[in-house]
Structure 1
Amino acid sequence: METTQEKHAREQHSHDHNHGRMPIILYFIGLTLSLIALFLNQEYRLLQNSLFLVATISAGYHVIFLEGIRETIEHSRTQHKFTPNSHILMGVAAIGASLIGSFWEGTLLILIFSGAHFLEDYAEGRSKREITKLLKMNPTTARLITSDGKTTIVDVKELKVGDHLQVLNGDQVPIDGIILSGTTSIDESSINGESMPKEKGEGDIVFGSTINGVGTFTMKVTKENKDTVFSKIVQLVNQNQDNQTKASSIIQKFEPKYVTFVLMTIPLFIVLAPALFDWTWSQSIYRGLVLLVAASPCALAAATVSVTLSATSNLAKRGVLSKGSTYLSQLANIQAIAFDKTGTLTKGKPEVTNYYFTDVVNEEDVIDIVVALEKESNHPLARAILNKFESKNQRMIKVENQIGKGLTGEYNGKTYRIGKPTSFKSVSDEFVRKTEEWASEGNTIVYVSENEKVIGIIALMDIPSEHAKATIDYFKKCGIHTALITGDSEMTGQAVGKQLGVDQVIANVMPEDKSKMIKEQMERYGITAMVGDGINDAPALVKADVGIAMGEGTDVAVDVSDLVLMKSDLSKLVKAHKLSLKMNQVIWQNIIFSMFVVAFLITVSLLSLTDIAISVVIHEGSTLVVILNGLRLLKTK
């Protein structure tokens, strides 16, 4: 049975085999031959035309004759109707130009169109998204406790439900399970994106790939390796990639209808012209071919290339990397945008937001003791407290870190402790009120006690990033639905959502649920973007129409996203959306202009006011105008 990974590898190999470098090599051979032919004088007309003909076939072999025919067949089969692309039209136009003796014009059409095609391929960056880094993060070994009480290192794949394991401090939790004995704190950011480690004890659930803190514990395996939460993240990323439907660009939506119209009209014109205009069949065929060349949308072929390359280049200079112009076009059309919380809308690190010490103690002395205690801890909350408070006097205190109780130390015959509120038995109403008030705002609360009597309270929170509020406000003004999707608690999610004015808050969400939530947003609102930074965001980033990663987030999130905001600056997302709107506007300008030129050339061709040489000159002039119009986006702020 072929696995998803094997299928992916086979398809990727096939893709590389079909494309590779050969099309580019053939294109440059054709370009070289056409330049040589241009420098030949009239004495070598036969050689010149032969070189033009070979150049046409060489430069257009892949894009026109292979892709054009193949894609037309594939699209027609999928759509259950004839669905040609402009590749076919360009091929017919080049053949037509050659048949009436205009070999150079036919070659020029192919060179322009094939060149535009290869440039667009380069801009789109069609590489399949890789998840190798995600797979590397999956634990491979575990410490199995054998029946005689000894431990042995085994492959995670060999573990069975019911096995007992030992997890040492600093180790990765190898698989999903439940703690049998011991206490610890675990960094679960790879699963739920939460920046605060969670304290765990007997009976608590643990997840594979999460990072164990300072404690050692034993656990019982409750799921097979293929069924763990982390494995489901990998599976979802794979499935979502396989099921992705790449959005069509504006040109891709427009060109089949135009090409079908031209291919139907030209033969009809050739057949009816002798009766309508009293032409000979020779004149009718000649005029039909001239009309075919006139109708070939050279400018249309270049309508998007200079625009998209300019837009992507402009954004790259401003710290936004795009993996394809189609995603920028999609960004302009979004009706909903969802954000992860930690590290995306927030800074990803807790900060002290409030603190209070009772009047019965000297605040300066208590702060000195708090700093002395926290210096002995590597907990994120400790770093936040140390960033906030500075000791006036150095205190030498021996500190004991007890999981479930917090930090404890003795000074001047008194015992001081910093711990979570639930670890204290008796708390005054004053502290209870402040706890309820600050916790309702999304803060994490810790108490400071002297001989087990609470004397201080410190509130910490992962606060919104600098540009989060302005970014949410911008999208709301654009009429775009905003949502916060987080693995955090309902209280924390709602608190952050309220601060930022987000339309919808969805909390307590596991990675596989994030992907489902994005699907629901797409079904309810339409084109949806997702912004995230963590491993747990990867399935949602792939599922969304536009996945946007914070540049300082995990490599996996960056790998599977469509846009990357370098330096994790949300203000760059606003700039990207504004420029994407401008990009689509300029593309439509180019389409309208190029079609106007085609209409003009068709009209003068029908009136016999032009020949093929003049048509090609006007074609190339309009193509230049289109390119220059697109290049304006390089300067757009």
Structure 2
Amino acid sequence: MNTQDHPASESKSCGSCEHGHDETPLPRNALVIISGALLGSGMLLQWLKLGPVQLHTACFALATLAGGLLVFPAAFKALKKARLDMNVLMTVAVTGAWLVGEGAEGAAVVFLFALSEMLESWSVGRARRAIASLLKLTPQTTLVRGADGVTKEMPVAEVVVGAEISVRSGSSVPLDGEVIAGESAVNQAPITGESVPVEKKPGDPVFAGTINGEGSLTVRVTKAASDSTLARIIKLVEEAEEQKAPTQRFVDKFAAIYTPAIFLVALLVALLPPLFMGGAWSEWTYRALVLLVIACPCALVIATPVSIVSGLTALARRGVLIKGGAYLEAVGKLRALAVDKTGTITQGRPQITSVIPIGDIAEEDVLRRAAAIDVHSEHPLAKAVVAAAQAKGITWIESSQYKSVTGRGATAIIDGHPHFIGNHKMAHELGLCSPDIEARLTEIEIKGQSLAILGHAPHEGCNGKVLGILSIGDTIRPEAANALTLLHNAGIEKVVMLSGDNQRTVDAIARLAGIDEAYGDLMPEQKIEHIRRLMTEHHYVGMIGDGVNDAPALALASVGIAMGAIGSDTAIETADMALMKDDLTRVAEAIALGRRTLRIIQFNVTFALVVKAIFLILAFTGHTSLWLAILADTGATLLVIMNALRLLGAAQTTKQ
């Protein structure tokens, strides 16, 4: 999320092309077809020597006019703004061709240029339509149960939050909601990209656009149609596609200088040889026109936006949201990855595995006091303590003066006495870690388990003491080891775990998962120091975290990544990259596709420049024609587009 990588909200992806296809309300496709038909007719008549020359000329003139309606108005607007763009360049070339008596070539130039514009528009549109088509997964109407128990069909857009809807077997879920009756397996692939259906029962969330299985569900609507997770995903991807990547901004700046420079060079080519070298005006004017045509940077300018849009769309269809071209490029450049432990490498569902009373206190009383403090916290470990107390039917007493201690734990008053519950470091800082306590803690930590220590906090007249130890287990994600292998295969040089948990627990988890380096007992500001160090060593660093304790580190990293963002508006809105499913392998997929996108952009830009360079040399030496120049330009544009569109299917595998 480093500011150097932040994309500015700019014009549309293809807006930088400065073509005429967005400048006119005229039917572009029809005009291109008419222009091509007239050009072909004129050439055929000329080749067969049928009809008078005037008929041939009329065909070429009408072909020029039809294609020119897509170019000339845009050129006029550019000139009014004192700007030289590709439309002006083509207009001058076409006009010049007619003035030197090459009407057929002038018509060919305007037709092929208009055709290349149409191809560019189609290519970007295809990628955008691929993500927008997800909206078709949601039905237009749904069955709503009224207060009187009668079910009636209503437009999805009119269904309000809180309404109860029926989802039949085999149908699409129309709105986000919570299951209140029925059980079924739901295919969430349109949002998460996972192929295995997820079992749903009362209390579970369901999302618009997912496909219900064999069971029938009654769902209470939690979000309006316009605010569903699917609608937000589509909106965010469309916004991301509007933002320019660094490569695109560079190409746009280059084109802004390059195009006027070409005009100047062409003018010198047309004037200097006839004036000072005795060259023929017609010959050097023609060469200048060829120079203008071949110099048109269509393929160069379209190379990046089509690649970016295709890459963003491919990942979105696999359940990975990236906030724009700048972040997709940054993902493709990542060399190191920092990960949180809980919820990233582990399942994020910690459970109390044992309660160890210290002294003459009962196990139930340890859990009761611990829950009395932790009921005020949203931390995953605190929730595990409360859940364990509830499971045992333990009711806890009220606590007061609750205070969270960042990176350590919490304190509160219970029965008039200050209590604390926290990690190893907190107990150590309070001076309560006796050799016996240390031995017990070490035994838990080397197993890779977390712990919470409950005790009386030192205060006036009391030195404090440990009342009990709660060991907390959280299983490693089954795909973690494979994901680490895929990340290294994708080019990640180092994966580092940054955790607030104790060092021994972190080391044990890191060994099991195959993580390169692990650092525990970290405060949020210490995580920032590690991110800075990694950025110094590897330049581009990603951070996967929960967005709460890790917020500063996520903000500093080149790319901040949130896992399991499905149903989480905050994660979807704030992360640079959000995974709809809790699956680390998707990070490897995104990195691999980001690298592939960069390679395709680099190839496309290089290819476009090489083609231009070759034909510019041929233009200077008089070894090419307007025909070949425009065919080369259109051909290069078409090849660049087709190469970029390959990315639409690239997310099917992580192996590039």
Does 2:450 match 1:438?
no
Mapping 1:229-628, distance limit 5 Å: 247-249=246-248, 251=251, 262=262, 265-274=265-274, 279-352=279-352, 381=381, 384=384, 399-400=396-397, 432-439=438-445, 443-445=450-452, 458-461=470-473, 464-472=476-484, 474-475=486-487, 478=491, 480-485=493-498, 501-503=515-517, 505=519, 508-510=522-524, 518=531, 521-523=534-536, 525-535=538-548, 537-538=550-551, 540-552=553-565, 555-606=569-620, 608-628=622-642
TM-score by length of 1: 0.56
CA distance in 1: counterparts of 2:549 and 2:311, whole angstroms: 30
Q: What is the letter of the counterpart of residue 630 of structure 2?
A: V
Aligned partner of residue 543 in structure 2, secondary structure: strand
What letter matches 2:96 in structure 1?
Answer: L
How many Å separate the matches in 2 of 1:595 and 1:588?
A: 11
Match of 1:98 among 95, 98, 103: 95
1:567: Cα distance to partner?
1.2
Distance in 2 separating the partners of 1:253 and 1:337: 32
Asked whether the equivalents of residues 502 and 520 of structure 2 are also in contact (C-alpha less than 8 Å), the reply is no
SS in 2 for 1:286: helix
Instruction: Please give the alpha-carbon distance, in whole angstroms, between the structure 1 residues aligned to 2:565 and 2:253.
Output: 36
Does the CA contact (< 8 Å) of 2:245 and 2:324 recur in 1?
A: no
SS in 2 for 1:348: coil
Q: Read off the aligned partner of 1:53 and give its amino acid letter.
A: G
Q: Secondary structure at the match of 1:556?
A: helix
Q: 2:559–2:576: 8 Å Cα contact kept in structure 1?
A: yes
Q: C-alpha separation between the residues in 2 aligned to 1:540 and 1:97?
A: 56
Partner deviation per Cα, 1:146-203 (whole Å, 9 max, x = no partner): xxxxxxxxxxxxxxxxxxxxxxxxxxxxxxxxxxxxxxxxxxxxxxxxxxxxxxxxxx
CA distance in 2, matches of 1:614, 1:432: 81
Report the Cα offset of residue 269 of structure 1.
Answer: 3.4
Once residues 320 and 123 of structure 2 are traced to their aligned partners in structure 1, the CA distance between those partners, rounded to angstroms, is: 20
Mapped to 2, the partners of 1:592 and 1:15 lie a distance apart of: 24
Q: Which consecutive unaligned segments of at least 5 residues does structure 2 have?
A: 1-7, 42-54, 99-105, 130-242, 401-410, 456-464
CA distance, structure 2, for counterparts of residue 386 and residue 572 of structure 1: 32
Counterpart CA distance in 2 for 1:326 and 1:520 is: 22
Alpha-carbon distance in structure 2 between the residues aligned to 1:630 and 1:587 = 8
Superposition RMSD on alpha carbons, in Å?
A: 5.5
Higher alpha-carbon deviation: 366-375 or 256-265: 366-375
Q: 1:53 aligns with which of 50, 68, 74?
A: 68
State the Cα deviation string for residues 362-404 of structure 1 (Å, max 9, x = none): xxxx99999999999967558647988999xxx8766546576
Q: Distance in 1 between matches of 2:633 and 2:122?
A: 20
Match of 1:4 in 2: none
Q: Contact 1:29–1:59 at 8 Å: present in 2 too? A: no
Structure 1: gaps (5+ residues)? 1-10, 70-86, 126-243, 409-416
Q: Is the Cα contact below 8 Å between 1:472 and 1:502 reproduced in 2?
A: no
Counting matched residue pairs gives 467
Distance 1:263 1:479, change over 3 A: farther
TM-score of the superposition, structure 2-length normalised? 0.55
AA partner of residue 320 (structure 1):
V
Q: Distance in 2 between matches of 1:110 and 1:514?
A: 54
Whichever residue aligns with residue 649 of structure 2, its letter is K
CA contact (8 A) 1:341 1:484 kept: yes
Q: Say which SS state the counterpart of residue 303 (structure 1) adopts.
A: helix
Q: Does the C-alpha gap of structure 1 residues 383 and 504 become closer, same or farther in structure 2, counting only changes over 3 Å?
A: closer
1:503 Cα deviation (Å)?
3.7
2:246 counterpart SS class: coil
Q: What secondary structure sits across from 2:71 in the alignment?
A: helix
Contact in 2 for aligned 1:338/1:482 (Cα 8 Å): yes
CA contact (8 A) 2:562 2:578 kept: yes
CA distance 1:547–1:124, shift in 2 (3 Å): farther
